[in-house]
Amino acid sequence: MEIKGSLISVGLEEAAAHLEELISEAEREGLSYSRFLSRMLSLELSSRARKREAMLMRLAHLPQIKTLASFDFKALPDLDPKIISELATLRFLESRENVLLLGPPGVGKTHLAIALAVEAIRGGHKAYFITLKEMVERLARSAASVRSMRAFSSPSLLVIDEVGYLPMGPAEAHLFFQVISARYEKGSVIITSNKGVGEWGEYLSDPTLAAAILDRFLHHCHVVNIKGESYRLKEHSKPKVKKVTKAK
């Protein structure tokens, strides 16, 4: 069909793939030309949005897909769901503000960080997830440092996971500072950490550099302090029920 070829040539591949179906529906429903055209373009735009979202998910380097719907707020009564719901509106992203998720291991900091990144992607924003250890290791490789810095500075949202879990020397701390400085008031950062900000000076082996990082990061920042028991430890401590098979 000549029309299908023309649609493909101008990049309307989804419309071309469903052209016969669209024409049949238009004839059956007696659609006007404008309604037919509107339906065809709506189909094409929906397909492009799905493909873009799938591409952004692939490029986001997410370790797994987590959502806010699957987060167990009941297990953390001290965490106000309204705070997370407000972050899920992505207003913090539009204002280029940061988010600091603090708390002991196992309380869902990474889950929330990933879920907010997923919300950002669904909202059409580019996001990138990485642990602090992996980030500084990539930046330390001089051949890749410029490219890596661009990868960390360009997304609308950068998630830096596990800040405070492993020791960090002055060189690594300086690389961390470079990323935070490059993104200051230009793009949002979500950090998850098991250490309060008062401990960062010792953790980063340089109180002055830690102060410089925190000064930039906390300037426009939502701090969420999560208290509670580790999900994993609670699951591990549950009594195990053994299935008993009766002898015949």
CB atoms within 10 A of CB 194: 17
Q: What is the mean pLDDT of residues 229-243?
A: 58
* Region of poorest pLDDT, from 41-55, 146-160, 175-189, 220-234: 220-234
Q: Which of 186, 195, 233, 239 is nearest to 214 (CA)?
A: 195
The average pLDDT across 153-166 equals: 96
- Round to whole Å and give the CA distance between 130 and 136: 10
Average pLDDT on 104-133 reads 97
How far is residue 202's CA from residue 207's CA, in Å, rounded to a whole number? 7
- What pLDDT, on the 0 to 100 scale, is given for residue 143? 57
Query: What are the domain boundaries of the chain?
Result: 2-54, 73-234
Instruction: Say whether pLDDT at 71 is over 90.
Output: yes
- Nearest C-alpha neighbor of 175 from the set 129, 219, 142, 218: 142
pLDDT for 186-203, tens place per residue? 999 999 999 999 999 999
| DSSP 8-state assignment for residue 157 | E
Check residue 69 and report its DSSP letter: T
Q: How far is it, in rounded angstroms, from Cα 97 to Cα 89?
A: 13
- The predicted-structure confidence for 86-104, as pLDDT tens digits, reads as follows 999 999 999 999 999 999 9
Provide, rounded to the nearest whole percent, the portion of the chain with pLDDT above 70.
Answer: 91
**Backbone φ and ψ of 230, nearest 5°:** -65, 130
Whether residue 125 contacts residue 90, with contact meaning beta carbons closer than 8 Å, is answered with yes
**What's the confidence (pLDDT) of residue 39?**
94
pLDDT reported for residue 86: 98
Kindly indicate the confidence band of residue 146, based on its pLDDT and cuts at 50, 70 and 90.
confident
Q: Output the CA–CA distances (angstroms, integers) from residue 121 to 19, 71, 134, 206, 231, in the order listed.
A: 30, 18, 22, 35, 27
Contact 152, 130 (CB under 8 A): yes
- CA–centroid distance for 54 within its chain: 13
Looking at the predicted structure, is the pLDDT value of residue 34 above 80?
Answer: yes
Query: Residue 64: exposed, middle, or buried by beta-carbon count in 10 A (0-12, 13-18, 19+)?
Result: exposed
- CA torsion 52→57→58→61, rounded to 10°? 150
CATH number listed for the domain at residues 73-234: 3.40.50.300
Asked whether the whole model's pTM tops 0.85, one would answer yes
pLDDT band at 233 (very low <50, low <70, confident <90, very high): low
Nearby residues of 14 by Cβ (< 8 Å), 6 or more positions away? 43, 44, 46, 47, 48
Residues 6+ positions from 31 with CB-CB distance below 8 Å = 25, 39
